[in-house]
């Protein structure tokens, strides 16, 4: 689908439990926020607020990435109701922002590719993106800019919930930063196991990617739990919680011939 260059974008990212929203212009991404899909009034309020903020632009558009078709369909309806315009969808209306080196192109989530594209756009070399959200994904891009794939693991919250639900006595723990190396209580032991386990898994994945690539990839953390994990991962290069939203904007700009 042909798209035209615009002065401003409203970019949306539909995740498994939250919707990300931000506005983009030539100065970059602004006013990024995440709203739970259970709070639809707040989602629509944020839509209206951000659309009003890009109202001074001579041309504007709304573009969306999604991993949940039902929420995306509802959000598209809200865009029409609140903003009086149609939204464009990554992959359906706008091409993915990176070429894929995969056996099956339609299985990888557009959010993973958008985040990877934004990371590659920053470093222009081999890179990896670890997204800490409902799930943890660790994806890798070649030095030539091809999305090579990655891995998917349960996110921190899912791990806490699984330990609580499938055991007789383990309590439900909330994600937080461990204060010591050794958990002294059951709650601390669960917290340390999940958080440090995620850090260890991240290191293992990236080391294996480095072996495959022949070089250590530049590593960016993103997602809602990225800033919680970052202090324990001294091998990362950057933290960018809203990397996917930047990638959504990048996809539109590439489709419009701006990159």
Residues annotated catalytic, as ranges: 111
Q: Give the orientation angle of helix 69-83 with respect to helix 40-53, to 10 degrees.
A: 50
Cross-strand partners of 150: 139
- Residues 98, 150: Cα–Cα separation, whole Å: 14
Which residue, chain included where needed, has tokens 């309806």? 77
């Amino acid at each position: 689908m042909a798209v035209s260059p615009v002065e401003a974008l409203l970019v949306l990212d539909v995740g498994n439990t939250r919707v990300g929203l931000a506005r983009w212009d030539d100065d970059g991404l602004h006013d990024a926020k995440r709203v739970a899909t259970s709070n639809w009034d707040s989602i629509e309020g944020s839509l209206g607020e951000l659309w009003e903020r890009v109202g001074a632009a001579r041309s504007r558009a709304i573009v969306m990435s999604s991993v949940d078709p039902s929420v995306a369909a509802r959000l598209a309806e809200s865009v029409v109701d609140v903003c009086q315009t149609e939204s464009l969808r990554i992959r359906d209306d706008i091409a993915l922002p990176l070429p894929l080196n995969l056996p099956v192109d339609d299985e990888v989530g557009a959010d993973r590719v958008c985040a990877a594209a934004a990371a590659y756009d920053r470093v222009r070399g081999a890179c990896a993106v670890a997204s800490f959200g409902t799930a943890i994904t660790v994806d890798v891009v070649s030095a030539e800019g091809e999305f090579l794939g990655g891995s998917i693991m349960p996110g921190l919250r899912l791990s806490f919930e699984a330990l609580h639900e499938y055991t007789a006595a383990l309590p439900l723990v909330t994600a937080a930063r461990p204060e010591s190396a050794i958990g002294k209580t059951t709650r601390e032991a669960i917290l340390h196991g999940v958080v440090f386990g995620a850090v260890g898994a991240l290191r293992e994945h990236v080391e294996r990617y480095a072996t495959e690539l022949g070089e250590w990839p530049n590593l960016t953390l993103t997602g809602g739990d990225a800033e919680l994990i970052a202090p324990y991962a001294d091998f990362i290069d950057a933290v960018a919680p809203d990397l996917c939203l930047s990638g959504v904007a990048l996809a539109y700009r590439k489709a419009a011939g701006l990159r």
